[in-house]
Amino acid sequence: MSLLDIFDPKAAPKPIGIDLGTTNSLVAHVVDGKPRCIADCDGDALVPSVVHYGKHDLIIVGKEAARLAATHPQETIVSVKRFVGRGADDPETRRLGPYRFAEPKDEADGKVIKFEVHERTVNPVEVSAEILKALKKNAEGELRSVGGAVITVPAYFDDAQRQATKDAGRLAGLEVLRLLNEPTAAALAYGLDSKKSGTFAVYDLGGGTFDITILNLDDGVFQVRSTGGDSALGGDDMDRALAEVLLSEMGFPEGVDRSPEIVRIAIDAARQTKHALTDREIVEVELPAKGGKTVSVRVTREQFDALIRPIVERTGPACRRALKDAGLKPKELDGVILVGGSTRVPSVRAFVQSIFGQEPLGDIDPDQVVALGAAVQADLLAGEGNADDVLLLDVLPLSLGIETMGGVAEKILPRNTTIPAGAKQTFTTYADNQTGFEIHVVQGERELAADCRSLARFTLRGIPPMPAGLARLEVSFDVDADGLLNVYAKEIKTGIEQTVEVKPSYGLDDEQIEDMLLDALDHGEEDLAARRLAEQRVEAQRMLMATRQGLDADGDLLNVVERAHVMAAVDQLAASVEGSSVAAIESGIANLDGLTKGWAGRRMDRAIAKAIGGKGVDDVAKTVEGAGGIEAHLGTEGEK
């Protein structure tokens, strides 16, 4: 089963970077210090992000699927990225397109979009996973064994869209090392290659998403200053605008009944016309017309530019706001980097030039640069490259807020906060003996929670019964380096940790993901058990290696008693890894984890002291003598 390939001991697994694009996707890896895209068996690196669902569970991805789109428009999903992390009621489902969307059975069912293909339904996470599987297969053809993967996402993707992308990676059997923002990936590839430093704007207009990112490049530090965009704006919108014109010429103006086939033909013809207009002033296209006739339509670049002007201009406010948030004037930028296929459109280039007052840099392949940057990052994260030389500091693209009384969104983390980031808020109960509490988290810049994007409702449970207003709940909102939100809570007076139940407003919950994983595996339960064992073994090996390295480097931070306990736990865990009991490995990990907690803290303090110039390093060593961490841990163990 492919899910176990990550642990194939025969070939050393190689890290990969994936650009999961709206129109095309790519996979890349680093060879001899240089990132390179991996081609499929025909020698093409670009894999169209198209998935065709045939009869008898047949699934086709890429070029072949793109060819089938014209004849099987409803069973062939194009630009699935536009639907990722969105609910069944999303406006995206009402735009021009050939699909059949499943009617949600209930409220919970409406949290994800579902496409009807033949007798089954598929959601965007499953469709995206098929694209990822195809890329993984291409990579395996060249690297034999694929290790962890960095998958890129638009910087402006919200929490639900990021989570859905990560879920797709998991479903495709990939270990997702990091979700990396596309403009940051592009800057990484460009910056490391050109060895330039300064402040740059990355204008990334893809098939379905738009990002603008302003960042500093300085001696291996890539620091994002501000970001903005629109996760439903791109080349697809240009295609649809032109497709409407073509449909009218074909005798199917708006309001007339159009078949899915006709819609697909018009959209595909529009896309080809758009491409042709990059180098030509006039393009003529032959199209099937109403009544079985053929019609020839002539499109000039001027017409096309006028048609797409409103779309291109929609990128303007985000650019101006990003500059303002970074505290910069256009002329203070050292360069403008263009990313995404849609930046090939001449009027887009002209618009970018007018906004930033300078000609964009032209020496970058806008299709490949994101995948190349992802490969560089994957290489660094897997410990292959020289990680000490590079630091990526990215930001939260949209403000995080919580809904307060009266429906106002109170911002707890503003947009453009460096991640990982965290905010703490204290709440109190409003009824006597209240044991639960609900917090609604939203993302966006608007004043009212209802106008922002709803992320999730977090229910805290297990608050100790107290009179109203006495319980004090400290809730931590942490955003990790993937830009994903995690919520923790504890009652301050009692110190009791609350269980936090997450109800995502859009997307799939853990149980649904688990079910999809079970479905995806050939032998369901059996394979999942094997996978769990493999995962626990990997974690145990990590733990053993980290502990042994720690003993070598920071053994002096353990006293004699602690060292003896740690050594015993290491031996016990090493023995359980040889066996096949998941429970034994888990308890071995937990035991070693508990015994090394205090030591891990001291090691971290030493690393911090070292990072800021050696000051205080000796102080850390001194604390060993007075350390009671391990005895305390053993003590609580004994009481149980």
Partner 1 sequence: MDPFATLDIEPRFDLDLKSVEGRHLDLSRALHPDRFVGRPASERRLALSKAIEVNEAWRAVRDPIRRAEALLGRMGIETGETSSAKADPELLMEMMEQREALAETRMERDPARLATLTAAMEEREEKVLGALNQALATTDPGAARDALPHLAELRFVRRFLEEASAVEDELL
Number of residues that bind partner 1 (CB under 8 A): 48
Q: What is the rounded distance in angstroms from the CA atom of residue 239 to the CA atom of residue 272?
A: 9
What residues from 557 to 596 belong to the interface with partner 1 (CB under 8 A)? Answer: 589, 593, 596
Could you tell me which of 310, 156, 322 has the C-alpha nearest to residue 231? 156
Contact 311, 237 (CB under 8 A): yes
- Give the pairing type, strands 453-461 and 497-504: antiparallel
Here's the x/- map for partner 1, 133-162, by CB under 8 A: it reads as ---------------x--------------
Residue of 31, 59, 276, 393 interacting with partner 1 (CB under 8 A): 393
Selected binder of partner 1 within 44, 116, 501, 539 (CB under 8 A): 539
Cβ closer to partner 1: 393 or 624?
Answer: 393
Kindly state the tokens that stand for 206: 């893809």
Active-site residue (options: 126, 130, 159, 182):
182
Report yes or no: 337 and 356 within 8 Å, Cβ to Cβ. Answer: no
Stretch that binds partner 1, among 82-90, 229-237, 340-348, 415-423 (CB under 8 A): 415-423
* 640/635 Cα distance (integer angstroms): 9
Choice from 382, 452, 456, 500 touching partner 1 (CB under 8 A) = 382
Nearer to partner 1, 323 or 463 (CB): 323
One-letter amino acid at 622 equals K
Asked whether position 542 contacts partner 1 by CB under 8 A, the answer is yes
Closest CA to 378 of 132, 28, 140: 28
Q: Which is nearer to partner 1, 220 or 288 (CB)?
A: 220
What is the spatial distance between Cα 453 and Cα 442, in angstroms, rounded to a whole number? 5
By C-beta, is 282 or 607 nearer to partner 1? 607
Q: Three-class SS of residue 328?
A: coil
608 binds partner 1 (CB under 8 A): yes
490's CB contacts (< 8 A; 6+ apart) are 473, 474, 496, 497, 498
420 binds partner 1 per the rule CB under 8 A: yes
DSSP-derived 3-state class of residue 405? helix
In whole angstroms, how close is the CB of 537 to partner 1 at the nearest point? 13
Q: How far apart are CA 228 and CA 323, in angstroms?
A: 10
Q: How far is the CB of 369 from partner 1 (least distance, A)?
A: 20
Asked if residue 482 lies in contact with residue 166, where contact means CB atoms within 8 angstroms, the answer is yes
Does 388 participate in catalysis according to the annotation?
A: no
Active-site residue, from 126, 167, 204, 211: 204
Question: Which residue number, 418 or 433, has a Cβ lying nearer to partner 1?
Answer: 418
Cα 514 → chain centroid: 19
Residue whose entry in the numeric block shows the structure tokens 């403008």: 336
- Please state the closest distance from residue 328 (CB atom) to partner 1, in A: 14
Instruction: Give dist(CA 459, CA 501) in Å, integer.
Output: 5
Question: Which of 406, 613, 614, 638 is the binder for partner 1 (CB under 8 A)?
Answer: 613
Catalytic residue flag (residue 119): no
Q: How far is the CB of 607 from partner 1 (least distance, A)?
A: 5
Q: Which of 601, 617, 621, 623 binds partner 1 (CB under 8 A)?
A: 601
Q: Which helix (H) or strand (E) holds 114?
A: none
| Cβ closest to partner 1, residue 380 vs residue 489 | 380
Tokens of 243: 């497709």
Q: Tell me the one-letter amino acid at 616.
A: G
Are 478 and 470 within 8 A, CB to CB?
A: no
Alpha helical stretches, state H, 174-300: 182-194, 235-249, 260-276
Q: What is the DSSP letter of 437?
A: E
How far apart are CB 536 and partner 1 at their closest, in Å? 11
Pair type for strands 436-443 and 400-403: antiparallel
Q: Which stretch binds partner 1 (CB under 8 A): 54-62, 192-200, 201-209, 316-324?
A: 316-324
Q: How far is the CB of 481 from partner 1 (least distance, A)?
A: 4
Site mask, partner 1, residues 36-75, x = CB under 8 A? ----------------------------------------
Q: Binding of partner 1 at residue 480 (CB under 8 A)?
A: yes
SS (H, E, C) 46-64: CEECEEEECCCCCEEECHH
Residue 297's alpha-carbon distances to 38, 272, 283, 294, 358, in angstroms, are 38, 13, 8, 10, 36
CB closer to partner 1, 88 vs 224 = 224
280 vs 324, beta carbon nearer partner 1:
324
Helix axes 316-326, 346-356, angle to 10 degrees: 30
Choice from 33, 317, 407, 555 touching partner 1 (CB under 8 A) = 317
478 binds partner 1, rule: CB under 8 A: yes
Cβ nearer to partner 1, comparing 539 with 631? 539
User: Is the bond into 420 cis (omega within 30 degrees of 0)?
Assistant: yes
Under rule CB under 8 A, residue 610 binds partner 1: yes
Torsion of CA 106, 111, 237, 291, to 10 degrees: -30
Stretch that binds partner 1, among 192-200, 269-277, 343-351, 539-547 (CB under 8 A): 539-547
The residues in 201-240 that bind partner 1, with binding defined as CB under 8 A, are 221
* Interface with partner 1 in residues 424-453 (CB under 8 A): 445
Q: How many CB atoms lie within 10 A of CB 450?
A: 12
Of residues 278 and 418, the one with the C-beta less far from partner 1: 418
Cβ closest to partner 1, residue 148 vs residue 183:
148
Q: Contact between 391 and partner 1 (CB under 8 A)?
A: yes
Catalytic (active site) residue 182 = yes
- Name the residue type at position 507: G
How far apart are alpha carbons 606 and 137 in whole angstroms? 43
Active site residue 81: yes
Q: Which one of 106, 119, 281, 388 is in contact with partner 1 (CB under 8 A)?
A: 388
Q: Is 422 in the site for partner 1 (CB under 8 A)?
A: yes
Are 175 and 145 in contact, with CB atoms under 8 Å apart? no
The stretch near partner 1 (CB under 8 A) out of 235-243, 421-429, 553-561, 621-629 is 421-429
The binder of partner 1 chosen from 616, 632, 635, 636 (CB under 8 A): 616
Task: Count the neighbouring beta carbons within 10 Å of the beta carbon of residue 463.
Answer: 22
Output 120 or 532, the one with its CB closest to partner 1. Answer: 532
Is residue 600 near partner 1 by the rule CB under 8 A?
Answer: yes
Three-state secondary structure call for residue 180: strand
Choose the catalytic residue: 81, 114, 133, 136: 81
Structure tokens at 637: 């163990």
Name the residues annotated as catalytic. 19, 81, 182, 204
Per CB under 8 A, residues contacting partner 1 are: 148, 177-178, 221, 316-317, 320-321, 324, 380-383, 387-388, 391-393, 417-423, 445, 478, 480-481, 539, 542-543, 546, 589, 593, 596-597, 600-601, 604, 607-608, 610-613, 615-616
